[in-house]
């Protein structure tokens, strides 16, 4: 019985170690720009920028308006998008007091990667 418990404990320690290593590696794979986007934007716009329908309903806005992969959003230049993030628009709050100009540029650059190859620069 003691051997069984030792083996079980050893297995659990090994499994926990592997899990911890994998979690740390996964965190390293997330870029700072992705972390910023996910921390400030994904609640409404989704991690993939396709929009969070539940949040749109809660805010009483058309779900298409939180989808940043739609043609109207993709066609905005980086400067236009940064202006919206900075100053807000409609029900989107302004982030000029919460983010630096460099952080906003970083978020916009990351968003452009989510919008695909047709995104305006």
What is the per-residue pLDDT for 92? 94
Q: What are 3's two structure tokens?
A: 């051997």
Residues 63 and 111 in one domain: yes
Give average pLDDT by consecutive 10-residue segment, the chain, 121 residues.
70 60 60 95 97 94 95 96 96 95 96 91 77
pLDDT at position 78 is 96
pLDDT of residue 105: 97
Is 8 in the same domain as 38?
no
Can you give the pLDDT at residue 20? Answer: 57
The predicted structure's pLDDT at residue 120: 81
Backbone angles phi, psi at 111, to 5 degrees: -55, -40
Per-residue pLDDT at 95: 96
Q: Helix crossing, 101-115 with 32-40: angle to 10°?
A: 90
Shared-domain flag, residues 14 and 71: no
Q: Is residue 60 part of a domain?
A: yes
Same domain, 50 and 8: no
């Amino acid at each position: 019985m003691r051997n069984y418990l030792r083996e079980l404990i050893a297995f659990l320690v090994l499994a926990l170690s592997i899990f911890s290593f994998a979690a740390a590696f996964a965190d390293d794979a997330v870029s700072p720009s992705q972390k910023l986007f996910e921390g400030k934007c994904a609640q409404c716009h989704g991690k993939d920028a396709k929009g969070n329908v539940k949040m749109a309903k809660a805010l009483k806005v058309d779900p298409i308006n939180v989808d940043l992969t739609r043609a109207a959003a993709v066609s905005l230049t980086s400067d236009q998008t940064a202006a919206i993030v900075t100053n807000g628009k409609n029900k989107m709050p302004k982030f000029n007091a919460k983010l630096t100009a460099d952080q906003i540029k970083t978020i916009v650059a990351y968003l452009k990667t989510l919008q695909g190859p047709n995104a305006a620069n």
